[in-house]
Amino acid sequence: MTNDAARILVVDDELGMREGCSKVLSMEGFEVETASDGLAGLKLFRDRGDFAVALVDLKMPGMGGLELIEHLRSHDEDVAIFVITAYAAIDTAVEATRRGAYGYIPKPFTPDELLIPVRNGLERRALNIEAKRLRAERERRLLELARERSKSSTIINCMADGVIVVNRDRQIVLRNAAATRILPGFEQVPLSSPLDQLDCEELQALIADALKEPAGPVIASKELHIDKSVYMANVSPVLEPNGEAAGAVAVLRDISALKKLETAKSMFISMVAHEVKSPLAAIEGQLMTVLSGAAKADHDHEAALLERALLRAKNLRSMVNDLLNLTAMETGNFTIKRLPINALEVVQAAVDANREKAKDLSIELKLQAPPTPSQSHVLADRDSIFLILMNLIDNAIKYTRPNGHVLVSVCDSAGFVKIAVKDDGIGMTQEQMESAFDEFYRAKNEYTVHIPGTGLGLTLVKRLTELHQGSIKIQTQIQKGATFTLTLPTIN
């Protein structure tokens, strides 16, 4: 309520005083109510309420001014109460103030002598109300902060992953119970100790790199061998609004069981690598046929043999590349560096790289993007995202018949970027879809027998997507095409 709209109650048994006060105050824009005695004034105050100022006479029949002041103050502790009386005495002024009056106006008084105290009282009342609001807000925020700290502390300490936070001065300011279990002797290191107290030089180096002036949010990931276990360390700077590093946070996840499983898979990959022998033997036989002159008389037959040899050689090279990438990921020698990138730009590059192949096979390849270029960025390794898209688009082209269509679309959806690759090709059965991401899996039927492939492309897609905290889903129906949807979280 502004001062100009304030409501004022005048309680006095003299009609002239009531009317005089009402006239002066009303001319100043205040809304004025009057009462002829204390009881009537108290009833009006309770019934009408929301009075900012009360002018109370001391000597009144029924209920006197001092008693009325106590009742008004108990009903609204912020109301500014002024005593008006012709019996001015220091004792009565002190008693009125003790009971809650803000000021004392002796009769008779001029309009200015009335208005000045009233305006001062309104300012005092506004300040009191604002102070109470600020105190309440402060208490609420402190309570929320305490709850959030308690909640965060509970969550962090209950995490199975180790968490370490370092400030810009390279001092360890937070750790959880899991971190003390993971790092030898870490439980003996007090908080606010220097970073070099960590008994792991590789982790120290990762955190130190994160504390350097970053160009933006970066997550560095590296496998660490601590005692007999293997941990994936993810380290990221904590940035101030101005972009400066306020500190860094490191998360350590135990991947020992996964590494054992990956080692077993690597052995499996080594065993099945003998499949390379089959295409090599076929290439060798076809080339020897051409070189021996057996097909010299038939140039078309000779050309067909060479084309088949070239196709098998390309398939073999693709298999070797996929095997190398997959083995690198499973043995921990595959490194990604995630930086903010524009997803649409990478999609455009992958589509452009496949246009000539699609044209040669009489397949229409189109990119569908929002009318306004997307400004959404993802925290990702650009080469890895490009490899994912190349595999998805290449698969869509390979499994689509001539004169078919492949549509690549990009859209933003509630904190995520969704990239869909849709074709109207041969599609998959439910059983084939469930095994699509398995190593070396290839659906074998009359539609795929002449389509080259290693069975590793989608496996790589799945692994790389998971490294980026994303997801890949398939929607398909036999003979009606398939849609692969890649979903990646965006950054602000």
pLDDT tens digits along 207-256: 888 888 666 667 888 888 888 888 999 988 888 777 777 888 889 998 88
pLDDT in tens, 93-116: 677 777 888 888 888 888 898 899
Task: Look up tokens 């140039």; give the residue.
Answer: 299
Report which residue type is found at 37.
Answer: D
Secondary structure (3-state) at 141:
helix
Q: What is the pLDDT of residue 2?
A: 45
What CATH class does 159-254 carry? alpha beta
Give CATH for domain 255-333: 1.10.287.130
Q: What is the pLDDT of residue 352?
A: 92
| Terminal Cα distance for the chain, rounded | 40
Q: Is 367 exposed, middle or buried (0-12, 13-18, 19+ CB in 10 A)?
A: middle
Q: What is the pLDDT of residue 137?
A: 86
Helix (H) or strand (E) holding 296: none
pLDDT in tens, 58-93: 888 888 888 888 888 888 888 899 988 776 566 676
Q: What percent of the chain has pLDDT over 70?
A: 85
Q: Is pLDDT above 50 for 1? A: no
Distance CA 432, CA 458 (A): 13
Distance CA 143, CA 141 (A): 5
Q: Considering only CA atoms, which of 325, 322, 340 is closest in space to residue 381? A: 340
Arch. (CATH architecture) of 336-492: 2-Layer Sandwich (3.30)
pLDDT in tens, 386-434: 989 998 998 899 888 899 999 999 988 878 899 999 999 888 888 888 8
Q: Answer with the residue of higher pLDDT: 369 or 317.
A: 369
The CATH number for 3-132, chosen from 3.40.50.10490, 3.40.50.920, 3.40.50.2300, 1.10.10.10, is 3.40.50.2300
Task: Look up tokens 């869509």; give the residue.
Answer: 396
Q: What is the pLDDT of residue 419?
A: 92
Q: DSSP string of 71-133?
A: HHHHH-TT-EEEEEES---HHHHHHHHHTT--EEEESS--HHHHHHHHHHHHHHHHHHHHHHH
DSSP bridge partners of 485: 420, 473
Mean pLDDT of the 1-22 span: 81
Distance CA 405, CA 419 (A): 17
Count how many residues are written for the chain: 492
Q: What percent of the chain has pLDDT over 90?
A: 14
Q: Considering only CA atoms, which of 94, 83, 31, 32 is closest in space to residue 60? A: 83
Residue 451 main-chain phi, psi, to 5 deg: -95, 120
CB 411 within 8 A of CB 422: no
For the whole prediction, is pTM greater than 0.75? no
Secondary structure (3-state) at 236:
strand
Q: 1-5, 149-153, 260-264 — which is least confidently predicted?
A: 1-5
Q: What is the pLDDT of residue 330?
A: 67
pLDDT in tens, 444-453: 665 665 666 5
What number of other Cβ atoms are within 10 A of residue 72's Cβ? 25
What number of other Cβ atoms are within 10 A of residue 200's Cβ? 20
Domain positions in the chain: 3-132, 159-254, 255-333, 336-492
Mean pLDDT of the 468-481 span: 89
What angle, rounded to 10 degrees, do the helices at 382-398 and 343-360 form? 30
Q: What is the pLDDT of residue 55?
A: 92
Q: 6-10, 190-194, 226-230, 272-276 — which is least confidently predicted?
A: 272-276
Distance CA 451, CA 401 (A): 11
Residue 78 main-chain phi, psi, to 5 deg: -95, -5
Q: 129-143, 260-274, 355-369 — which is least confidently predicted?
A: 260-274
Distance CA 195, CA 198 (A): 6
pLDDT in tens, 160-204: 888 888 888 888 888 888 888 888 888 888 888 888 888 888 888
Q: 8-12, 170-174, 192-196, 303-307 — which is least confidently predicted?
A: 303-307
